[in-house]
Structure 1
Amino acid sequence: MESRHVSTVIAAEPDAVYAFAAEPENLPRWASGLAEAEVAREGDLLVVESPMGRVTVRFAPPNEYGVLDHDVTLPSGAVVTNPLRVVAHPHGSEVVFTVRRLDLAAEEFDRDCATVARDLDRLRELVEGGS
């Protein structure tokens, strides 16, 4: 299985980046590959309309390590685990998302990686802009 680490550097402290990215209401603002509309909560699950249809998302519990790993349950019932980390960087923070190819064709995998890169760039713009 092929994996690709997609990252961006954000000129903000890791705690601030983590807090913004971990807030479910912010997901539609920056995570277009996951949330296209308002996020609903069902217990500890998030329910979102995504480009893949209605999915549920379960994030790692809040933590001091910048871990935002999340499991996405697709409409088919398949569960995809997505590693996502906010780590300290000399210029603030680096956000790293690991994209796994799984059963995707090469073109689909490249498209997923490009979507994640755009999403992380949007996260950077929002955090650095103070929005």
Structure 2
Amino acid sequence: MQSRHLSTVIRRDPAEVAAYFGNPENLPEWAAGLTDTAVRHDGDDLVIPTPMGDWRMRFAAPNDLGVLDHWVTDHTGQVTYNPVRVIAHPDGAELIFTLRQLNLTDEQYEKDAAAVTADLERLRTVLERD
């Protein structure tokens, strides 16, 4: 199983980046690889409509450390743990997403990595707009 750290540097304060990333209301604006529609809340879970059925997401407890880990449960019930960190960078903040291959073929893993990279670039663009 491979792991890969995908990151982007964002010219914003790390706390701002963490707050934006961790706010589920912002997902449709930058996470096209996951959803382009509004999510709904179901207790501590977020319910994300996808063409394959609803997916669920749960974030780690809010914290001041830039830890934005989250668990995604797909329509089959498979749970994927996604470690995410926002750390200080000389140009602002660096968001680091750890992508693991798990049960994906090499081709699926590369496609997933491309989708996450595109989402991180959209996130950077959105946060650097102002």
TM-score in same-fold range (> 0.5): yes
Unaligned runs of 5+ in 2: none
| Equivalent position of 2:27 in the other structure | 27
Aligned length: 130
After superposition, the C-alpha distances for 1:97-128 in whole angstroms (9 at most, x for unaligned) are 11110111111101100111110000001111
| Equivalent position of 2:119 in the other structure | 119
For residue 52 of structure 1, report the CA deviation from its aligned partner.
Answer: 4.9
Going from structure 1 to structure 2, the CA distance change for 1:48 and 1:7 (only over 3 Å counts) comes to: same
Specify the code of the residue in structure 2 equivalent to 1:56.
Answer: R
The Cα RMSD (Å) is: 1.1
| Equivalent position of 2:45 in the other structure | 45
| Equivalent position of 1:61 in the other structure | 61
TM value normalised by structure 1: 0.94
Identical counterparts, % of pairs: 51
TM value normalised by structure 2: 0.95
Unaligned runs of 5+ in 1: none
Tell me if 1:99 matches 2:120. Answer: no
Distance 1:103 1:35 in 2: 21
Distance 2:116 2:51 in 1: 13
| Equivalent position of 1:109 in the other structure | 109
- SS at structure 2 position matched to 1:94: strand
Check the 8 A contact 1:36/1:51 in 2, yes or no: no
| Equivalent position of 1:72 in the other structure | 72
Check the 8 A contact 1:36/1:48 in 2, yes or no: no
Check the 8 A contact 1:54/1:74 in 2, yes or no: yes
Specify the code of the residue in structure 2 equivalent to 1:58.
Answer: R
Check the 8 A contact 1:11/1:92 in 2, yes or no: yes
After superposition, the C-alpha distances for 1:35-92 in whole angstroms (9 at most, x for unaligned) are 2310100111000023653100000011001111000111111111011111111110
Specify the code of the residue in structure 1 equivalent to 2:106.
Answer: A
